[in-house]
Amino acid sequence: METRFLEDLIAVAELGSMAAAARRLGVTPAAVAQRIRALELEIGAPLIARAGRTVQPTEAGAAILARSRDVLRNVQEMRAVAAGESLAGEIRLGAISTALTGLLPGVLKHFVAEAPQVELYVMPGTSVELYRRVSDGELDAAILVQPQFSLPKTCVFQMLRREPLVVLAPRRMKRTDPHDILRHEPFIRYDRNHWGGRLADAYLRRIGIRPRERLELDALEAIAVMVSEGLGVSLVPDWASPWPAGIAVRKIALPAPVPVRHVGLLWRRASPRLRLVEALRSAMAAQKAS
């Protein structure tokens, strides 16, 4: 089986058109169709079916797409090893939303400079979702909130940033006592499906405050905007900048002991791309030092 046939299948599946796939691959549509047909004969099942003006993978085609991508990644890495290249291939990285705009850009700047031949695939998601994808091998690593349970021995977590909880209030608010604010002001809750939201909920329970809930949101940036508009106050991690532009909010510190959200890198010890993960860790160290 020729790997370029798998490349054709992936391109057709992603673009929904033989012609579009041909343009991407730099060949004729007839050549793409011929390669797909050869692959179908070798697999023994139809892989592509026409659906109106587009083409889509059949059930058999969809079943082999993910494995086809794995095969191509592995072939690319074998070529890099054979050529003596120090770093090449693809790394699949997950990141929570605040890391996408805060931690990740600077880290990737260092990483790309040191490993220009590595292809990066970045997937956004919640910490819960990203943890599962790393554990299942769908992602090579992820920047997420440290799980609130003991990690299995198959995974490693390296802390990158400590984010204490703060009370977020409109800048014009006169109150200054954080517990007084949480007791009496309308409350915008950070979604308890997120580990950071659970941390805030546990703190409120510990100090015996039942806030006057108005909203529950799963996006920290949206919470900051709502607070700026005077819709309420919130209890959130002090996440890495940038924050939404133009907002008028105050961060009010909690009395000690303050709950802290730990954000870091999670990866599997037995990752097949451990060399690339180590390179990513080096880029994170360089970013922290700069």
pLDDT per position as a tens digit, 212-245:
999 999 999 999 999 999 999 999 999 999 999 9
CATH 3.40.190.10 in the chain, residue ranges? 89-161+262-289, 163-260
The ranges of the chain with pLDDT < 70 are: 1, 73, 76-86
> In whole angstroms, what is the distance from residue 240 CA to residue 103 CA?
7
| Contact between residue 264 and residue 161 where contact means Cβ atoms under 8 Å apart | yes
The span from the CA of 200 to the CA of 218, in Å, is 13
Q: How far is CA 178 from CA 157, 197, 207, in A?
A: 32, 17, 12
What's the pLDDT score for residue 95? 96
Token pair belonging to 175: 């109150």
The CATH number fitting domain 163-260, selected from 3.40.640.10, 3.40.190.10, 1.20.1630.10, 2.130.10.10: 3.40.190.10
In the chain, list all ranges with CATH 1.10.10.10.
3-82
Instruction: Calculate the CA 274 to chain-centre distance.
Output: 18
Q: What is the pLDDT of residue 62?
A: 86
Which residue bears the tokens 């991690």? 237
pLDDT score recorded for residue 207: 96
For 3-82, give the CATH class: mainly alpha
pLDDT computed for residue 1 by the predictor: 60
pTM higher than 0.85 for the full model? no
Q: What angle do CA 284, 289, 290 make, to 5 degrees?
A: 100
pLDDT of residue 77: 62
Strand ranges in 77-154 using DSSP code E only, listed in sequence order: 89-95, 118-124, 141-145
Q: With CA atoms as reference, report the closest residue to 234 among 182, 289, 278, 191.
A: 182
Peptide bond into 242 cis (omega under 30): yes
Q: Considering only the top CATH level, what class is 89-161+262-289?
A: alpha beta
User: What torsion, rounded to 10 degrees, do the Cα atoms 35, 38, 39, 44 define?
Assistant: 160
What percent of the chain shows pLDDT beyond 90? 57
Picking from 288, 168, 139, 179, the residue whose alpha carbon sits closest to that of residue 239 is: 168
